[in-house]
Chains A and B, each alone.
Chain A
Amino acid sequence: MFDLTGKNALITGASGGIGGAIAKALYDAGATVALSGTRVEPLEALAAELGERAHVLPCNLSDKESVEALPKQAAEAMGSVDILVNNAGITRDNLFMRMSDDEWDSVLNVNLTSTFRLCKGVLRGMMKARWGRIVNISSIVGATGNPGQGNYAASKAGMVGMSKSLAYEVATRGITVNCVAPGFIATAMTDKLTDDQKSKIDAQIPAGRMGTPEEIAAAVVYLASQEAGYTTGTTLHVNGGMAML
């Protein structure tokens, strides 16, 4: 249903489980993709698996200069950036009373500030093209909060407010800005949980199971599509009913 042939997409955090699935889904829908991340090897492996419309652009999102260079590198590699997916994120969990400035700053910097910079970096091209899709990967905890994740939850809630503000500004230019907020998704990170921990998590989810990276990717493909042109400033919650917002 959703055909992205001829569109060029930049995906951050493409070396991770969800980012990789997003890149694959966009590629399968016909888009050319620029895969960004810190770890080169998984990016190269993913690019090789996808095919010739995949480019690898390593980037350290905690470094301002690297972040600002990324949209330019992506435009050089692909010709333009029509779709931006800000998926990269880090956690530095700690109880609020123990949280250091460094833990706070690093999470806000990578998750929120780099998203701001990348959005800003792709806007000029999208404004000229009168077409653009920005999808920011937020999180259920941005809406619900989570103990030990004051910094992460703040960064993910911040993305939502930022995306809505930007959506207002650029709506007349054919550019949409939306968020996808995943709930519990089965990735390498959750594989480390014990069966007991997993069953406790599943019990909190009306769907009775964790989501898959492909289910997040499907939401991103929709928001990146031509058909989603009237959907902007929204957050699509993909969480098996864990929080109905």
Chain B
Amino acid sequence: MSDIADRVKKIVVEHLDVEEDKVTETASFIDDLGADSLDTVELVMAFEEEFGIEIPDDAAETIQTFGDAVKFITEAS
């Protein structure tokens, strides 16, 4: 697993307080990992800080799963 994926996973595990093995490629933050809509906003904020990137609101809306987040951040950074 790439370094980016590891760092994203760490944020997700810490923030949503979930088991690491639940955070799979297709795991949806809201449907599978118990996030509410505000959690997803906070995750995006945390990603922005960790990777020093800006994630515009319209892009943030497309980040639904762990895989989406890794893909977006890999492309952006």
State the A residues within 8 Å of B (CB): 124, 127-128, 169-170, 172-173
Min CB gap B47→A, angstroms: 13
Contact with A along B2-44 (1 / 0, CB 8 A): 0000000000000000000000000000000000101000100
- CB atoms of B38 and A172 under 8 A apart: yes
Residues of chain A within 8 A (CB-CB) of B38 are 127, 169-170, 172-173
Interface size in chain B (residues, C-beta < 8 A): 4
Min CB gap A207→B, angstroms: 41
**A169 to B38 alpha-carbon distance, docked (Å):** 7
**A1 to B20 alpha-carbon distance, docked (Å):** 45
Q: Taking chain A's interface residues, is the majority helix, strand, or loop, or is none over half, making it mixed? A: helix
Min CB gap B54→A, angstroms: 13
Residues of chain A within 8 A (CB-CB) of B45 are 124, 127-128
**A36 to B45 alpha-carbon distance, docked (Å):** 27
**A124 to B49 alpha-carbon distance, docked (Å):** 12
Q: A128-B45, A173-B38 are in contact. List 8 more A-B contacts (CB 8 A).
A: A124-B45, A127-B38, A127-B42, A127-B45, A169-B38, A170-B38, A172-B36, A172-B38
* Top 5 A-B pairs, shortest CB-CB distance: A127-B42, A124-B45, A169-B38, A173-B38, A172-B38
Closest residue of chain B to A172 (Cβ to Cβ) is B38
* 10 pairs of residues in contact across A and B, judged by CB atoms under 8 Å: A124-B45, A127-B38, A127-B42, A127-B45, A128-B45, A169-B38, A170-B38, A172-B36, A172-B38, A173-B38
Min CB gap A102→B, angstroms: 31
**A128 to B14 alpha-carbon distance, docked (Å):** 13
Closest residue of chain B to A169 (Cβ to Cβ) is B38
**A128 to B38 alpha-carbon distance, docked (Å):** 12
Closest residue of chain B to A124 (Cβ to Cβ) is B45
Min CB gap A56→B, angstroms: 29
Closest residue of chain A to B49 (Cβ to Cβ) is A128
Min CB gap A181→B, angstroms: 28
Residues of chain A within 8 A (CB-CB) of B36 are 172
